[in-house]
Amino acid sequence: QVQLVESGGGLVQAGGSLRLSCAASGVALDANNIGWFRQAPGKEREGLSCITARDRRENYADSVRGRFTISRDNAKNTVYLQMNSLKPDDTSVYYCAADWRSFPGICSTNEGRYEVWGQGTQVTVSS
């Protein structure tokens, strides 16, 4: 079974930092672009960041550019999202997902491209 499992969420004060992890099992991720997304109650799902499979090219939404950093360790089959300077508006459930139709050199934060999703991890930022 192919599974993605997010971890690292929690409660943090505004201005603080969290590091999220996305661990894969049942599949090697070295051929797949990976994206991070979030969805808060009553809001649409928002693409935040993505990273390409091998050359590790990154893409960021305007809302998180300069604050969040995506990275990956293919040997550990894990992708990370370092979140700094967190704001109350960042409060959401955060998801990772795998794109099975990946192209080299570029990735997309369009959620329609992603086929396999994790269960999500809650991030709450207090003011």
| Residue 98: per-residue pLDDT | 95
| Residue 27: per-residue pLDDT | 82
How many other C-beta atoms can be found within 10 angstroms of the C-beta atom of residue 6? 23
Exposure of 3 in the CB half-sphere (CA atoms within 13 A): 6
Taking Cα atoms as reference points, which of 55, 11, 59 lies closest to residue 35?
Answer: 59
Assess contact for 34 and 47: CB atoms under 8 A. no
DSSP for 20-52 reads: EEEEEESS-GGGSEEEEEEE-TTS--EEEEEE-
Identify the segments of the chain with pLDDT beneath 50. none
| Residue 19: per-residue pLDDT | 98
Taking Cα atoms as reference points, which of 51, 49, 50 lies closest to residue 61?
Answer: 49
| Residue 110: per-residue pLDDT | 94
| Residue 103: per-residue pLDDT | 85
| Residue 26: per-residue pLDDT | 85
